[in-house]
Amino acid sequence: MNLKNTPARSAIYDFLVRSSSPVDAGQIIKFLRSKNLNTNKVTVYRNLDALFKNGLLERVEFGEGKFRYEFKKNHHHHLICTNCGKIEDISGEYLTVIENKIRKENGFIVKSHSLEFYGLCRNCRNN
């Protein structure tokens, strides 16, 4: 696929690069409006799809019934505070051992995984 450099696309991508945690389509649309880039929501969805399919974005679900997207960096997982909504990254590949075990015991070849942790962040645990 041949991705072109358009104002909408680079604005969306820049926003995701600058975001510290995964954002949903609605947040992107609001951001673009606040910058007076009145990009149609369909364009946002199509760009998210194109960037995702080209491996530039990661797509995650946090049990909200919608997708969130983030700039693809090093492999990591999320700590999601169920009290304040704060999202932290934790780096590292913890699952290699498990995935090898799955391959042996289930004959299943793991290509990817999703792993999110829900709980209370440092601030909220003390309140």
Binding residues for DNA, per CB under 7 A?
A: 1-9, 24-26, 38-43, 45-47, 49-50, 64-67
In the bound state with its own copies, the residue whose beta carbon lies nearer, of 40 and 94, is 94
Q: Does 2 bind its own copies (CB under 8 A)?
A: no
Q: Which two tokens stand for residue 101?
A: 């075990």
- Interatomic CA distance for residues 30 and 50, integer angstroms: 20
- Interatomic CA distance for residues 47 and 41, integer angstroms: 10
Of 15-23, 25-33, 43-51, 57-65, which segment contacts its own copies by CB under 8 A?
57-65
Contacts of 30 by beta carbon, 8 Å cutoff, 6+ apart? none
Q: Does 79 bind its own copies (CB under 8 A)?
A: yes
CB 77 within 8 A of CB 83: no
Shortest distance, CB of residue 31 to its own copies, whole angstroms? 22
Shortest distance, CB of residue 28 to DNA, whole angstroms? 9
Count of positions on this chain that bind its own copies (CB under 8 A)? 34
Alpha carbon 37 to its chain's center: 23
**Residue 74 interface partner, choices its own copies, DNA, none, CB cut-off 5-8 Å depending on type:** none
CA distances from 54 to 2, 42, 50, 58, 98 (A): 9, 18, 6, 10, 28
Question: What is the binding site for its own copies (CB under 8 A)?
Answer: 59, 61, 63, 65-67, 79, 81-82, 88, 90, 94-95, 98-99, 102, 106-122, 125
